[in-house]
A and B are shown apart, each in its own frame.
Chain A
Amino acid sequence: MFKNVLSRLVTETVRSRRYAPNGPVIQRLIPASGPVRTFTDRKGEAQPQFDASLLDVLVCPLSKKPLRYDAETNELINEELGIAYPILDGIPNMIPQEARLIQKDSAETPTH
C-alpha cells in the first residue's frame, strides 16, 4: 500500500521535473503530499502507543527520580540530569548508555 503511494509520488515528481518550470512542480507536489500525509498518519497508528500506566513504576535508572513523558518526541525525560530515554515500538529503552543528552546534541551519554 505504501509502495503505491511512493511510486505515485516518484512518478509525479519525475513527470513534473520533465515539464521544468517550478510552478507546476509545486502545484503537483502539493496533491502528492496529500497521500504522503496519510502515509505518515497510518504509520503513526501502526506504531503502538506508550502505556502511560508504566509511568507509575518507571524512574530514571541513574537518579531514581520520576520521569516526564514527552509525546512529541516520544521520549521519557529526566529534567534534573537533562537526559531523554527513547521509546521504540511502545517499549521504553531505559539503558543509561542509550539515553540522549538534551542540552547538547550528542547522541549518547558517556558511560559511567
Chain B
Amino acid sequence: MAASMRLLVRRAIRLSHKNITLTAAGAAARSDCCRGPLVCRCFSDEAEDRSTHFGFETVPETEKAKRVYKVFENVAQKYDIMNDAMSLGIHRMWKDTLLHVMHPQPGAQLLDMAGGTGDISFRFLDYIRSQEERQKRRVARSSQTPSWRDISNNYSTQDEPRESRAVVCDINKEMLKVGKQKADSLGVSAGLSWVVGDAEELPFDDDQFDIYTIAFGIRNVTHIDQALQEALRVLKPGGRFMCLEFSKVNNPILSRIYDAYSFQMIPVIGEVIAGDWKSYQYLVESIRKFPNQEEFKGMIEDAGFYCVKYYNLTGGVVALHSGFKL
C-alpha cells in the first residue's frame, strides 16, 4: 500500500511541478508510512529530505544508495556461493530462462546493468557463440554441393556481422572486480567490457544497445523510475528491456513456506557462509518492499515501454518483465 501511495505521489509530482501540490501530496503520503519522530519532519520537508525504504527501515534517500553500496561491498567475495546456497542453485535456471526468452542473435549489443559478477553476460556470450556455431553448421551442411553462386558468395567478405558485445555495468566496484576475476579465470574476454556506473545516470549515449537487462538489481535502485527512463534512453528503437526480480508469490501455501525460508533460513546461511547477517536480512526485506508484478509492469509502461509483459518463474518467487522501446 505504501508503495502504491508513493507511485501516486510520484505521478502527482510529474504532472504538476507546483511546490504546494508537492508538499501536500508528500505530506499525505509520508504521514501514512512514517511513524513517531519522522511525522513532525514531514510538513517542513523539501524534496531532498524525502525518505525511502531500506528493507523494513525508513531512511533518507541520500543514505539508501550508500547503505546498499556497503551491503554489496561486504557480500561481493561470497556473492556467487551465497546465491547457490540461498536459492539451492535455482538462480541458474532463472538466468538461463532469461537468456532463452531473450534469444539474442549474433551481433546483439547487451547492457547488463547491475551485472556485478557478470552471470548474465557470460551466459549471453555463450548463447551467441552456440548460435554462431549452429549457423555455421547449417551453412556447411547446405553447402555440401555448392553451386557456382554459393562459391562466388563465399568470396565476398562484405557481410561481416557486427561483433556482439556485452557491457557489464554496476555501481559497485567490488562486485565488478569479482566479476572481472571470474572472466579472467574462465578465459572470457572478447566482447566483454566492465564499467562502473549509476543506473539512474547511465554513462552511455542514446540508442546504443539492443538489449538492456537488470537481473536482481532494480530493487536496490533508489529511484526506479529514473532507472527505467535511462534504460529507455540507451536502448535502440526496437530494443528490449528485460528485468529479473523477486516478486510476489500468489499461492498462499507456497507464500508461507517462502516467507519462513526467507526470514528464518537466509540470514542464517548468510551468517554461516559470508559472516554477514545484516546484509542478507536487508536482502529479504528489500524483496518484500518491491512492488508486485502488476505494479512494476505499470511502472515500466509509465516509463514509455510497449508490449510489457511478465513471466512468473518458480510460482512467482521471481518475475521476468519484458518491454520494448518502439
Contact = CB atoms under 8 A, between A and B. Distances in A.
Contact of A54 (B173, B195, B198, B201): B195
Interface stretch (B6-14, B122-130, B202-210): B202-210
Interface in A26-78: 48, 51, 53-54, 57-62, 64, 66
A82 interface: no
Nearest to B170: A91
**B interface majority secondary structure:** mixed
Interface string B183-216: 0000000000111111001111110100000000
A62 B203 CA distance: 8
Given A94-B203, A96-B201, A89 B208 contact: no
B108 interface: no
A95 to B, nearest CB: 6
A88 B204 contact: no
Nearest to A54: B193
A95 B197 contact: yes
A90 B176 CA distance: 11
A64 B205 contact: yes
B167 A57 contact: yes
A16 interface: no
A13 interface: no
A95 B177 CA distance: 16
Interface residues of B, number: 20
Nearest to A62: B201
A89 B203 contact: no
A95 B198 CA distance: 6
B183 to A, nearest CB: 11
B213 to A, nearest CB: 16
Nearest to B192: A51
Contacts of B173: 88, 91, 93
A95 B205 CA distance: 15
B242 interface: no
30 contacts: A48-B180, A51-B193, A54-B167, A54-B193, A57-B204, A58-B195, A58-B204, A59-B204, A59-B205, A60-B203, A61-B197, A61-B198, A61-B201, A61-B202, A64-B205, A64-B206, A66-B205, A89-B177, A89-B180, A91-B173, A91-B180, A92-B203, A93-B196, A94-B195, A94-B196, A94-B198, A95-B171, A95-B197, A96-B198, A96-B201
Given A58-B204, A64-B206, A96-B198, 15 more contacts: A54-B167, A54-B195, A57-B204, A57-B205, A59-B203, A59-B204, A60-B203, A61-B203, A91-B194, A91-B195, A92-B203, A93-B173, A94-B195, A94-B203, A98-B196
